[in-house]
């Protein structure tokens, strides 16, 4: 999708967008598409090196951020306001895949780590975004949930718990900030191709003692209506819709981008 091909209602000219977890995967694709749509993007993440490449392609501002820390998230928004004077869109995308294993044997420490990043981290971003966007007269918050936030999957209890919770938080916060003109929605991607899923499948193959190719076919590609993975760019297009005026009456909703994994 090129800038020239965008319908004007999907343009983000004059908008400032914060994208957490912007260095790789879905976050990177969203930041790049938002920039092509005319937005000034603020790139947040824990690893500056991965953000630097995205800054080159987007002209974005890098703000190293650890969403587990409320103070770090406060500093992110302060930096965006200092540089641009406003924040219009927040993509609450930072997260981790969490431990892979049966609940009877899963690493409890890794389970807690997943909760800290995916749930408390998302809450920290929502907390500050709700205040800043409400004070600024409105905007769009996009929470990155998952197909695993709509139905449970074996060996992924920590991730499922956080993504189910984020759906409820989306609906609750949408009601809280709606009177201020702030929309809050969730995206629920299915299996998205990339390094993150490669790591998940490798861990699952080890835990189950099965070939990775068998797990991919049985659990990801062959069970989808389109018989394929989802591409990060496809998730980015849905995020652009929710960020834009095309979705001006859409709030408290969740959109699946899953190639038809019913």
| pTM of model > 0.85 | yes
Q: What is the mean pLDDT of residues 24-34?
A: 97
Catalytic residue among 15, 28, 146, 163: 163
Per DSSP, 221 falls in state I
Q: How far apart are CA 21 and CA 28, in angstroms?
A: 8
- Reported as a single tens digit per residue, the pLDDT across 86-102 is 999 999 999 999 999 99
Query: The domain that contains 117 carries what CATH number?
Result: 3.40.50.720
State both tokens at 132: 């800043």
Total structural domains in the chain? 1
Residue 5 burial (CB < 10 Å; 0-12/13-18/19+)? exposed
In a domain, residue 140? The reply is yes
In a domain, residue 226? The reply is no
Q: Let me know if 159 is a catalytic residue.
A: yes
The CB density around residue 218, as the number of other CB atoms within 10 Å, is: 11
Q: Let me know if 69 is a catalytic residue.
A: no
Q: Let me know if 224 is a catalytic residue.
A: no
pLDDT surpassing 90 at residue 207: no
In a domain, residue 217? The reply is no
Catalytic residue among 159, 220, 238, 256: 159
Which residues form the domain of 159?
Answer: 3-191+231-257
Catalytic residue among 140, 145, 224, 238: 145
The pLDDT mean for the chain works out to 94
């Amino acid at each position: 999708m090129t800038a020239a091909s965008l319908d004007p209602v999907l343009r983000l000219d004059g908008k400032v967008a914060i994208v957490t977890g912007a260095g790789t995967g879905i976050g990177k694709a969203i930041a790049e598409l938002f920039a092509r749509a005319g937005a000034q993007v603020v790139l947040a993440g824990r690893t500056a090196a991965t953000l630097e490449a995205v800054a080159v392609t987007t002209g974005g501002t890098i703000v190293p951020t650890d969403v587990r820390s409320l103070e770090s998230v406060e500093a992110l928004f302060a930096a965006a306001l200092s540089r641009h004077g406003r924040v219009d869109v927040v993509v609450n995308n930072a997260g981790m895949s969490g431990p892979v294993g049966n609940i009877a044997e899963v690493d409890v420490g890794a389970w807690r780590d997943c909760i800290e990043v995916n749930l408390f981290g998302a809450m920290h971003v929502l907390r500050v975004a709700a205040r800043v966007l409400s004070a600024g007269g409105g905007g769009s918050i996009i929470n990155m949930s998952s197909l695993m936030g709509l139905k449970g999957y074996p060996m992924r209890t920590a991730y499922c718990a956080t993504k189910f919770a984020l759906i409820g938080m989306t609906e609750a916060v949408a009601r809280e900030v709606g009177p201020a003109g702030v929309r809050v929605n969730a995206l629920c991607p299915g299996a998205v191709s990339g390094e993150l899923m490669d790591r998940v499948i490798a861990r699952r193959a080890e835990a189950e003692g099965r070939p990775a190719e068998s797990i991919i076919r049985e659990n990801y590609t062959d069970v989808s209506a389109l018989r394929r993975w989802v591409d990060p760019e496809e998730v980015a297009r849905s995020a652009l819709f929710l960020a834009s005026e095309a979705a001006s009456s859409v709030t408290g909703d969740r959109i699946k981008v899953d190639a038809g994994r019913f």
